[in-house]
Amino acid sequence: MDFRLTSDQESLLDAVNKIALEFAAKPTEFHGFALVGNQLEQELQDGEFFDIAQVPEFGPVAAALAVERLARLPYAVEAALSMLVRPHVEGELPRPFAIVENGRPGRFVATAKTILVIDGDNVGVAHPAPDQVESVESLFAYPMGKLRAGVKTTPLPSGDAAQVRKWIRIALAAEASGLLQAAIDSTVDHLTQRKQFGRPLGAFQALRHRMAECAVLAGGVRWLALKAASTGDEGDAALAALHAQESATRVIYDVHQMLAAMGMTLEHSLHLWTYRLKALQSELGGRGGQATAIAQHVFGAAPK
């Protein structure tokens, strides 16, 4: 065990951080549901950041840390699947990536060049033409889209499908970790500034304790995501995804309670994190889906 970063990883994350700082604030005039980071996407592409997991000096842990850092921004960018899942799909597949699960609308589907099509236990790969996808209006803070019927999907062999599911879980947990932290940070700012009954809201113990519990959950998600990225173990991946989805359930409710009506407005940024978390809550069968994987890979129950 040694949780220090190598100097290569540190420099890489400094570089990611430098880009991230340019996109730290939501444009004041933006009042939409999803803030799409096209320019951020371009900068990451230009710097070849989407390929860092494959660089031996950086590896999947550095990629997970980069995903987490980028998720803390108000901008949504397709980084998690490209950085953590794409290296585990056979062939040099074009990005952006997206997931369509059981025919539902998915994040980034309308602009994706590669779509992972998940149907029950089967995973396939599709490369839709522009007229085979369409954007969907949604409260979720990702650009949501759906796949039209009739797109050719190439099924993955079951071993590859399992590998893809595992890395989707890790990507989901790393992204959720950043989203949770950003939502908490934003709420802490509010509780520090907003005064009621003559003192900052953050000085009321009832709220302080709930925020402290949220912080404990968020940090736990971070550790489990990093560990899973490091080990690439099926059980670790499922534990990380479950803890992410479970913590999201709790934290989203609490941070919205703390911001009350202010958090309901599109002027405030909170929904840009919480409504990405909400989109992640259902992925790969939600908590029940992760629990089934944990039963098999951690508790040794017979596969379903």
Contact residues for another protein, defined by CB under 8 A: 1-5, 9, 61, 184, 188, 191-192, 199-200, 202-205, 208-209, 211-213, 215-216, 219-221, 223-224, 226-227, 230-231, 236, 238-240, 242-243, 246, 287-288, 290-292, 294-295, 298-301
Q: For residues 80 and 260, what is the distance between their CA atoms, to the nearest angstrom?
A: 30
- CB nearer to another protein: give 134 or 189: 189
List the structure tokens of 206.
């009832």
Asked if 72 and 182 count as a contact pair (C-beta separation under 8 A), the reply is: yes
Q: How far is the CB of 274 from another protein (least distance, A)?
A: 18
- CB nearer to another protein: give 107 or 287: 287
List the structure tokens of 225.
């995501």
- CB nearer to another protein: give 152 or 195: 195
Asked if 171 and 86 count as a contact pair (C-beta separation under 8 A), the reply is: no
Q: How far is the CB of 59 from another protein (least distance, A)?
A: 9
Q: How far is the CB of 78 from another protein (least distance, A)?
A: 24
- CB nearer to another protein: give 24 or 216: 216
Q: For residues 215 and 270, what is the distance between their CA atoms, to the nearest angstrom?
A: 16
What contacts 288, CB < 8 A, 6 or more positions away? none
- CB nearer to another protein: give 132 or 292: 292
Q: How far is the CB of 182 from another protein (least distance, A)?
A: 14
Asked if 124 and 153 count as a contact pair (C-beta separation under 8 A), the reply is: yes
Edge-first strand listing for the sheet containing 106-107: 106-107, 144-147, 133-136
- CB nearer to another protein: give 105 or 289: 289
- Single-letter amino acid code for the residue at 252: I
Q: How far is the CB of 135 from another protein (least distance, A)?
A: 34
Q: For residues 256 and 271, what is the distance between their CA atoms, to the nearest angstrom?
A: 9
- CB nearer to another protein: give 6 or 38: 6
Count CB neighbours of 213 within 10 A.
Answer: 14
Q: For residues 51 and 69, what is the distance between their CA atoms, to the nearest angstrom?
A: 16
Q: For residues 263 and 265, what is the distance between their CA atoms, to the nearest angstrom?
A: 5
Q: How far is the CB of 172 from another protein (least distance, A)?
A: 14
Q: How far is the CB of 282 from another protein (least distance, A)?
A: 15
Helix, strand or coil, per DSSP, at residue 123? strand
